[in-house]
Structures are given as structure tokens and as C-alpha cells.
A and B are shown apart, each in its own frame.
Chain A
Amino acid sequence: MNIEYIAGIIKAVTIPVMALNSIPLLVWMERRGSAFIQNRHGPNRANIGPITLFGLLHPFADAIKCVFKEPFRPTKAHPIFYPLAPALVVVPALLTLAVVPLADHIFLMGAEIPMSVAELEYGIVYMFAVSSISVLGITLAGWASNNKFSLMGGLRSTAQMISYELSLGLSIFGALLVYGSLNPNEIARLQGETFFGVIPAWGVLMQPLGFLLFLIAAFAEANRNPFDLPEGESELVAGYHTEYGGMKFSMFMMGEYVAMVTLSALTVTLFFGGWQVPWVTTEALQATVGQPLRVLCQFLAFAGKTLFFCWLFIWVRWTLPRFRYDQLMRLGWKVILPLSIVNVFVTALVLLGLGWMKGTL
């Protein structure tokens, strides 16, 4: 059997499992982190005998509880769409991770194997196409629950995610113009150079405004504070997942956290050098420590950066209050969208000028 098929199967199993395993970690980070920010201890009681692992067992206890709960459906909820909606939130978030490169290509038994489930030439387009599906899940959840609060949450999220999806796409347009590629691995590799030999040439330095706009739009896409209006508990009970309980509810939570991981991975790939270990190129690293350690180093660099952005999501949630709905719409349409267009325009002009100077145009 071809080594590439075997590697493909292994990657297709490992990467989603890794993403799912990051959920308990993120839940723990969120709960303990928020506790420390608010001068509390946070959950630290769940234990197996004397082992508490600083509260890390709480997510597992929660998971066990949710699995053993009764799969309940309100009488008037839609029999097919009601259980379908949570799946529509989780699956796209997991699918999106398929094109994120965890390290540079490895060479194994004469074959060059990319370290993502599928290396697509138009990976970024695929990412945006698939991640947009999750808004359908949220809208469907709101509608199928047959509850006015859920419906309002679902409608809010539709309006919000459509508004910010535009900005999300446009804000990386500038970065894509700079890289001249839509292949995530290629984009990560292009960020391995340095400016003046000291500063890593990460996308954030070439596209600071693009990064900022992308980050804001990403928060809105992930339905995280300060843009978590779809679930706004002060006015909508719990928004689109009011009627959900047990495992279906935890699937919405999983979807939220996987979306955080995905968007963090995307941010890192586009603006923070992806798997690049700062100042060290793949070739130099491989020559020094050998292939397995090189892959490990790059993976750890990638994981560390991604974890930082996951933490940023959590950190911001416990710092900022929620936007009002009109403020959200004003910010999306009147500030972020025009600024992204300006960013694309200016980037294009600068690139045109540079190409002209170099005589390539």
C-alpha cells in the first residue's frame, strides 16, 4: 500500500482527535483563567482519589455527565432539524482544520508528505467556504427549537455572522496579495524570512491593520465576547441553544471551542508564521537536529502560538462587556468593512509600486 495513503489515514484520525482533545484544556483554561482574573479559585474539586490536577478533571466530569443525560426533545421542536443542528456546528469547525499545516512537509520513504490532512492549492478558500456552514447550524438550531428566544438568537447570529464574514474575507485579502498564494503551507513557508536579519517576516508586520481587522472579525465569527449576542443570556435566556440539553448542548460548546482553535490556527498561519520557529528555516533546523525533532519543534511552535490566540479569546471574554446590537452592526458595516477595503486598496497600490520599481511589471 502506498505510504501516502497510510499517512493520510493517520493524519485524518489524529488531527480531529487532537482538536477535540484541546476542548477540555480550553474549558479548563477558560474556567480557571476567568476565576483568577476575578480573584476566585475556580473549579478545583473534581478528583480521582487525591488527584485533582488543578481542576483539569472538571471537564471530564462534565463530559461524563452530559453523555449520560437523557436525549430530550421539546414536543414542538422539529424532529429532524433539532438534532441535526448541533452536528452542523461541530462538523464544519473540525473540517476547517483539515488544511491547516502543523509543520513543514516531511520526507518519508521517498514520498513528500504534507503535515495537514489535505494540502489544497486553494486551502484558504476552502477554509472560508466550510467555516461558513456553521452559521447554518446556529440558525437552524434557533428555528428548529420552536422557541422565540432561540429564534431571536439564531436570527441575530445570522445577521452578525453574515456581516462579519465579509470583513473576515476582505481583511485577509491584503495578506493574500502580499503572499501571492492561497496554499496555507506555502503561506507559512513565505513567512520564514527575516527583515534586516533580526525581525521574523511574519504577516502581522506586513499587514498590521489587516491582522487587527481579521482578529475582530474572527471574534465575531466565533460568537465570542464581546460579540456573543446570539446567546446574550441577559436578554435571550441562552439564545439559540436555550432548548438544548445533555450531549446536544455540549456539542454546541464543542463547536464553539473548536471554532476558537480553528480561527486561532488560521490567525497563526496567516499572520504569525504558522509552524515557523522564529529565525530558523526548515532546512537549517533539519540539518541541525534531524527530521523527527524538526517536525516536533515546528509543531510545538505552531501549538504554542495557537494556544496563545486561544488564550486571547478567553482573556478578551473576561475583560470586555458585550456590544449592543446596533453598536455591533455599526462597527461591522461602518468601520471594519470600509477599513478592510481601504487595506486591500492600499496593499494593492504598494505592491503595484514595488513591482514597478523592480521592473517586474
Chain B
Amino acid sequence: MSMDFKEQVYVVEIVKGLMITIRNLLRNMMNMRGMPTISYPEIMKAVAHRYRGRHRLTQKEDGMLKCTACMLCATACPAKCIQIEAKEGADGEAEKYPSLYNIDMLECVYCGLCVEACPCDAIRMDTGIHPPPADSREKFIYRIEDLTTYPEIKNPRDPV
């Protein structure tokens, strides 16, 4: 690597470098909001429309689960994290429904294949929630009650 005399003297090059940093400083001082850093708890990054977050089980208008316990999601699941126990509907004519629907969040790989497999639009991953931490393995197994209720997401959503 060879430098000409002007570069070897350093001073001019140092002044050039100083000009770059002061330009950055002034630009950011004039336009604090334009900085790429996001002040996290106050400002949240928008969740992408197709972000695969925590699962939820959708419900019919009468509050029953849309799920018919057909086991397609459990079959499609590559991580084998869905556990379903089916039960006959009332008087034997109504649809089957799951009496137990557990997802082990420690095993789930968030691939979304269960959503694609479902013929009834009964399971979705559109909550936009990153699964929260817990302090025991049992708490990571989400049951029907957990999957039908979920906290309101604070992040803004990208438009469709």
C-alpha cells in the first residue's frame, strides 16, 4: 500500500474524516426522527402482514371453535407439537369438536403448515405476537383457553 505525500502527512486526511463525522452529527441533530434507530418501547416497528406469530383458534358466531378435530394440522406439523383429542358433537349430528387442543410452543417451529393444512380456517397465526417467555415447561403448552384469548398487540400492522 503506497500513500502519496499528502496522505502521509495525515493532517488533511484527518480533517476530511472530521468533516464526515460532523456532517453525520449535524444531520442527526437537525433530524432526530430521521435516524434509523427505533426508540423501542415508545415506537414499535410495524409487524409485517405475513408475520407468523402466536397461533389462535378461530371461533364461530356462537362461540364454538371452528375446529372439527380433523387432525390435518397435527398430521402436517413437522415438529409434531399439536396434540388433539376429538369429541362427538351433541346428539351425534353436530360436528366433531376438540375437547383438547394443545400446542407445545417449545417444539413449534412456526412454519405455518398447520394454517395451510386447515380446511376450516380454524387455526391462524395472525396475532403478530412473539410468544412470551415462561418459567416452566408446562406454561409453554398452550391449551384451548390460551389459544382463543390473546392480548391486544401494540405494534402497528402493515396494511394488506
A residues at B contact (CB < 8 Å): 33, 36-41, 212, 315-316, 318-320
Please give the number of chain B residues whose Cβ is less than 8 angstroms from any Cβ of chain A in the complex. Answer: 16
Q: Measured between C-beta atoms, what is the minimum distance from B40 to chain A in Å?
A: 11
Chain A's closest residue to B41 (CB) is: A45
Contact with A along B6-32 (1 / 0, CB 8 A): 000001001001101110110011001
Chain B's closest residue to A44 (CB) is: B39
Q: Which has the most chain A C-beta neighbours within 10 Å: B14, B17, B25, B36?
A: B25
Q: Is the interface of B mostly helix, strand, loop or mixed?
A: helix
Our count of residue pairs bridging A and B at CB distance below 8 angstroms stands at 36
Q: Are B37 and A320 in contact (CB under 8 A)?
A: no
Contact of A319 among B21, B28, B29, B39 (CB under 8 A): B21
| Between-chain CB contacts (< 8 Å), 13 pairs | A33-B25, A36-B24, A36-B25, A36-B29, A37-B28, A38-B24, A40-B37, A41-B35, A318-B21, A319-B14, A319-B17, A319-B18, A320-B14
B residues at A contact (CB < 8 Å): 11, 14, 17-18, 20-22, 24-25, 28-29, 32, 35-37, 39
Q: Tell me the complex Cα distance, A36–B22, Å.
A: 9
Contacts A37-B25, A319-B17 aside, 10 further interface pairs with beta carbons under 8 A come to A36-B29, A37-B22, A37-B28, A39-B24, A39-B35, A40-B37, A41-B32, A41-B39, A319-B20, A319-B21
Taking A315-B21, A315-B22, A319-B21 as contacts, is the C-beta distance between A40 and B35 under 8 angstroms? yes
Q: Are B28 and A39 in contact (CB under 8 A)?
A: yes
Residues of A within 8 A of B29 (CB): 36
Q: Which has the most chain B C-beta neighbours within 10 Å: A39, A40, A212, A316?
A: A39
Q: Measured between C-beta atoms, what is the minimum distance from B56 to chain A in Å?
A: 34
Residues of B within 8 A of A41 (CB): 32, 35, 37, 39
Q: Tell me the complex Cα distance, A273–B39, Å.
A: 43
Residues of A within 8 A of B32 (CB): 41
